[in-house]
A and B are shown apart, each in its own frame.
Chain A
Amino acid sequence: MYLRPVDRSTPAERAAAPGFIGRLRLPRPEQWGKLWLRIRRNWQLYVLLFLPLLWLVIFRYAPMYGAQIAFREYSPAFGIEGSPWVGLAHFERFFKSYYFKPVIVNTLVISFYSLLAGFPIPIILALSVNQVKMRLFRNSVQMITYAPHFISTVVIVGMLFQFLHPRVGFTASLANLLGMAPPNAMGDPAAFAHIFVWSGIWQEMGFGAIIYLAVLSTIDPALHEAAVVDGASRLQRIRYIDIPGLMPTAMVLLVLSTGRVLEVAFEKVYLMQSPLNLGVAEVINTYVYRVGLLSPILDFSYSTAIGLLKGIVGLLLLIAVNYAARRFTNNGLW
C-alpha cells in the first residue's frame, strides 16, 4: 500500500463508505435479456467509467499481478513471467534473516504505541470541545488544533530537528535558561518512539476530533434535557450519553487502525531515521524500500516478498479484528 497518495482520511470515513463490501447477486438466466437491455440503456455511463477503470487496472491491479515475482527469482532480462519460480524461498530468507526480528518488533512497538496513545486523545478532545458553548472560544480552539494537519511531513520532521536541536533548539534554550545540559533528543534511540508518536498526536489530534464532533452533534438533545431534569451533572452526561453515542464510530475506527498496524507511516519514519537510531527505527515499510530500491544490489523479488507478506497479514488481521468487533460489540466495517 505504498504508492497510493498519502491518504490522510481517518479510517471512519473509509469504513462508512457506501457499498464497502457489496453483496453480489447474479441474475437468473431468464433475466439475462432484460439485463442486457439495462446495460445498453446506460452505455454512456460505462463510457464515463472507461478511463477510471483503465487507470485502476494499470496502476492498481497490474502491480498485484506483478507481485508474483515474490515467488520467482526476478531478473530484468527474463521479465516477470520469464523469471524462474523459486517457491517460498524469499519468504524463508526473510524469516531467517538477521533483520526479521528487529524489523517486526520495531513495527509493532511503534504501531501499538501510536494506537494506544493516539486513539483516545481525539475522543477526549472532541468531548471537551463539545462542552464549550462560547462560539469564539470554540472556533479558535478548533481552528488552532486543526492547523498542524496541513503542515507537510518534511516540515514537521524538520521542525522536530530544529526544535530539539542540541544547540540552537527550543529545548536547548529552555535548558540554558534552567542551567541544565541541553539534551540531544533526535540522536537518542530511546527517545525515538516517543518523539514519533507524540509529534504525530500533536499534528493530528485536532483533525481526528472532527469526525467525533460531527457524531456528537447528531446526538438527540432530548437525551441531554431528560438527563438534566433528572439532575445529571455534565460529567455524568458525558459518561452516559456522549461516550455511548461515540462508541460505534470509535469501534469502526479502531478496527481499521488495528488492521493497519503493519503500515507504519513510511514518510515520517524514513525522514526521522539516522545511523544512530536505525536499530529502533527500521520498520517493515522502510526495510522494503531499502532492500528494493536503495541497496547496491537491487533485490526486487525479496523486497516484493516482504511487502506481500505484510499486505496479506494486514488483510487477515483486518478481517479477524472486524469479526471480533462484530461478535462482541455489534459494530464493525461489514
Chain B
Amino acid sequence: MASMTSYESNINQVNESAVDRVFMLGNTAFLLIITLLILLPLVFIVAASFSSAEAVIAGKVTLWPVDFSLLGYETIFEHKKVWNGFANSIFYTFFGTIFNVTMTIIAAYPLSRQDLIGRRFITFAFIFTMLFSGGLIPTYMIVRDLGLLNTRWAMILPTGIGPFNLLIAITFFRTTIPPELNEAARIDGANDFRIFLSIILPLARPIIAVLALFYAVNTHWNTYFQALIYLKDQELFPLQIVLREILIQNSIDASMLIDIEDLVAREGLRELLKYSLIVVASVPVMILYPFVQRHFVKGMTLGSVK
C-alpha cells in the first residue's frame, strides 16, 4: 500500500462505494482463478516427476508427489543423448546469440543516425522480411547451396537479424543517444568507428542485455524447427529435438529400461521419465526467469514506443 501515489489513495478512501467493493472482490477472485489455472498444470508435472513409477502409471498423482522417488531423474542423468542435446543447445545458444546481437547492433546504430542517407530504404528492406519471405524451400536451397546442411553453422548463420529486435535496437539508440553527442565527439576529432566503440557500445549495455535475452530464449534455446530441417546427424541435435523424440514420438532407448523386467514397471518408468525430462528441460530458463523478467518487459515496452 505504501507504493500508492497520493491521488490514488485519496481516490480509494473517498470513493470506495459498495459497487466498487463488490467489483474489486470479483476482480481479485478472477485473478486468483487465472493464476491457479496457470500454476496447477505446472505443479502437477513437478509432483509427478518426483513420484514413483507405480504411482504415475496408476494415475494416483494429483498435486503432491506420491511415494517420493528420484528414479526419473536418475534415469535421465544416465541418458547420454539428453546430455549431448544439452551441450549442443548451450553451444548454439551461446555462439548464436553472440552472432545475432553483434549483427543487430552494428546494423541498428547506423540506421538510428538521422544523417545516414538511405536509412529509410534499408530499414524498410529489413522490415519487409517480416511481411513477406521467399518461403521454406527457397531458404532451404540457399542453406544447402552454401554447404551448411548438417553443420553447426546451419543453426547459427540463418538466424541472423530478427526484424523486431532490430527495430527495438534502433528505437533504443534514437531515444537514448542525442545527436549532439555525436557532433561533440566529431569536433573532438573522433571518427564514426571511434564513436561507435568508445561511446555507443558502453551506452548500449541495456539494449544488448535485452537483445541477448530475446535471441537466446526465443531464437535458440526453445526452437526445434531449424534443427529439424537442417540437421541429420544425431551428434548435432539440440535438446529440443531430443525432447521431441522422447516426449512426442515416445521413442526411448531400450537400453535405458533394460534392467527392469516387469513390463508394467517399464511402462511406468517410461512415463515417469517424461515428467522428469520436462522439468529438467525447463529449469535453465525458469531459474533465470525471475532475474530476466524485468528486462523482457522493458524490451517489450521499448518496442511499443515510437
Contact = CB atoms under 8 A, between A and B. Distances in A.
Contacts of A23: 120
Interface string B14-35: 1101011001100110110011
Contacts of A206: 38
Contacts of A324: none
Interface stretch (A8-16, A93-101, A106-114): A8-16
Interface size for chain B: under 10, 10 to 19, 20 to 34, or 35 or more residues?
35 or more
B133 A63 contact: yes
**What interface size band does chain A fall in?**
35 or more
Given A18-B171, A22-B121, A168-B56, A3 B4 contact: no
Interface string B260-304: 000000000001001101100110011001100100110011011
Interface string A131-162: 11111010011011111101111110111011
B283 to A, nearest CB: 11
B192 A42 contact: yes
A304 B137 contact: yes
Interface string A102-125: 000000000000000000000001
A326 interface: no
Chain A contact residues: over half helix, strand or loop, or mixed?
Answer: helix
A278 B170 CA distance: 43
B45 A22 contact: no
A137 B146 CA distance: 53
Interface in A34-82: 35, 38-39, 42, 44-49, 51-53, 55-56, 58-67, 69, 80
| A137, A157, A304 — most chain B CB neighbours (10 Å) | A304
A297 interface: no
B286 A147 contact: yes
B106 A51 contact: yes
A3 B161 CA distance: 12
A13 B172 CA distance: 13
B137 A300 contact: yes
B83 interface: no
Given A49-B122, A300-B141, A170 B306 contact: no
Given A13-B300, A163-B44, A307-B136, A202 B248 contact: no
**Most A CB within 10 A of own CB, among B24, B31, B134, B247:** B134
B142 interface: yes
B275 A307 contact: no
Given A66-B142, A152-B221, A52 B59 contact: no
B12 interface: yes
A157 B248 contact: yes
A179 interface: no
B121 A24 contact: yes
A67 B247 contact: no
A202 B139 CA distance: 32
B132 A1 contact: yes
A275 interface: no
Nearest to B103: A52
Given A16-B304, A53-B122, A228-B14, A44 B117 contact: no
B271 A9 contact: no
Contacts of A184: none
A178 interface: no
A210 interface: yes
B79 interface: no
Given A128-B27, A288-B136, A44 B282 contact: no
A159 B103 CA distance: 35
Contacts of B19: 233-235
Given A3-B136, A128-B30, A271 B244 contact: yes
A170 B120 contact: no
Given A9-B303, A18-B167, A170-B44, A289 B56 contact: no
B28 A307 contact: no
A59 B161 CA distance: 10
Contacts of B81: none
B303 A16 contact: yes
B177 interface: no
B123 to A, nearest CB: 4
A6 B135 contact: no
B11 to A, nearest CB: 5
A39 B38 CA distance: 54
A129 interface: yes
Contact of A228 (B15, B30, B141, B164): B15
B73 interface: no
Interface string A199-215: 00010011100110011
B219 A5 contact: yes
B129 interface: yes
A115 to B, nearest CB: 18
B180 interface: no
Given A157-B248, A221-B7, A315-B132, A59 B158 contact: yes
B124 interface: yes
B193 A44 contact: yes
A292 B163 CA distance: 26
A330 interface: no
Nearest to A10: B300
B142 A62 contact: yes
Contact of B164 (A9, A39, A172, A311): A9
10 contacts: A7-B218, A16-B304, A80-B141, A150-B286, A210-B297, A225-B7, A228-B15, A233-B20, A292-B140, A307-B135
Given A168-B58, A221-B8, 12 more contacts: A4-B130, A10-B300, A21-B127, A22-B120, A63-B133, A64-B138, A145-B35, A153-B222, A158-B247, A162-B45, A292-B136, A303-B137
